[in-house]
A = this chain, B = another copy of it.
Amino acid sequence: MILINGAPDDKLPITDRGLLYGDGLFETIAVSAGAALNFEAHLVRLSRGCRRLGIAAPAHHLLRAEASQVIGTCPRGVLKIIITRGLGGRGYRPDPQLAATRILMLQPAPDYLPANRVHGIVAGICHTRIVAQPELAGIKHLNRLPQVLARGEPDQQAFSESLMLDSHGKALAGTMSNLFTLRANTLLTPPLASAGVAGTVRQAILEMAPGLGWNTLIEELSIADLYAADEVFLSNSLIGIWPLRAIQDRILNVGNKAAILLKHLINNGVVPP
């Protein structure tokens, strides 16, 4: 089922600015045991993104009610929310009076291999970079061509996920995930002030780390830093955590802390079991 502005529908007017300019944002939320996981964090990020783009943010109670309706009795899947600036207006100039478009839909759960969580994955490194654009940094907006091109690079087809570098060649994130390393008892993840998406699971991990006895550090990570780390892993709402056991043909250390973290995320209802 898909709801557009509260009504069942599966099509959007061509004049919606979400299509014309990618003028909007989205959330991808795991549904497990019939519940949208970590839903408040997604709603908060959505509202923050709307505020930064000058899009009228829908009320949370409305999104909660519509999410329940869309999820219905489905035990497991993915709830996708898309908010666009709304219909029309001539040219790029955003009309501050536009009513935002609100789309909620339920998709099947992805068929990721359970082994990815347990044994880790081999990640590629994309040629396509994530470039610095501070106005858009952190926001899960609809301008995703760099990620599409990165994921489509011929060299990346063998990998479950691939790393993207920033303009300076630092490892910033996966195409669909945030990046972490563990070094002794310090958890590191790159800053997102210039580029990247501020993941809800990334946030949860940073909040959870002190309770697990780990310091946290927001710091740029070179590929060499990844090679030298005790553990390297990727996170998002659907995968939970995937340890990296190699980057291309370079074998990485694998430890047990990523697994500990994943268990905590599952137990706290942040990611699906």
The chain A residues found within 8 Å of chain B, CB to CB, are: 2, 4, 10-23, 26, 53-54, 82, 84-85, 90-94, 103, 105, 107, 110, 128-129, 131-133, 135-136, 141-152, 167, 175-176
9 contacts between A and B (CB under 8 A): A10-B13, A19-B82, A20-B144, A21-B142, A23-B144, A53-B149, A90-B110, A92-B175, A143-B145
Q: Which residues of B are found within 8 Å of A17, using beta-carbon distances?
A: 148
Q: Are B145 and A53 in touch, CB under 8 angstroms?
A: yes
Is B145's CB under 8 angstroms from A141's CB?
yes
Cα A145 to Cα B133 with chains together (Å): 11
Closest to A143 in B: B143
Q: A64 to chain B: closest CB distance in Å?
A: 20
A54-B152, A151-B91, A151-B93 are contacts. A135–B143 as well, Cβ < 8 Å? Answer: no
A91-B151, A128-B135, A133-B146 given; name 14 further pairs at CB < 8 Å. A10-B14, A11-B14, A16-B19, A19-B84, A23-B145, A23-B148, A53-B149, A91-B176, A93-B148, A129-B133, A131-B132, A135-B146, A135-B149, A143-B143
Residues of B within 8 A of A150 (CB): 92
Within the complex, which residue of B16, B133, B143 is in contact with A22, where a contact is CB–CB below 8 Å? B143
Q: B residues within 8 A CB of A146?
A: 133, 135-136
Q: Give the distance in Å from the alpha carbon of A138 to the alpha carbon of B84 in the complex.
A: 25
Taking the closest CB of chain B, its distance from the CB of A92, in whole angstroms, is: 4
* Most chain B C-beta atoms within 10 Å of own C-beta, residue among A22, A94, A133, A152: A22
- Which residues of B have CB within 8 Å of A110? 90-91
Interface centre among A26, A84, A133, A167 (most CB of B within 10 A): A133
Note all chain B residues with C-beta closer than 8 A to A93: 148, 151-152
Complex Cα–Cα for A94 and B141 (A): 18
A82 to B: closest C-beta gap in Å: 7
Which residue of B has the minimal Cβ distance to A139?
Answer: B145
A53 to B18, CA, bound (A): 19
Query: Known contacts A103-B14, A144-B23, A151-B91: does B128 contact A131 (CB below 8 Å)?
Result: no
Across the interface, A167 reaches (CB within 8 A) one of B132, B135, B142, B176, namely: B132
Which residues does chain B contribute within 8 Å of A82, judged by CB atoms? 14, 19-20
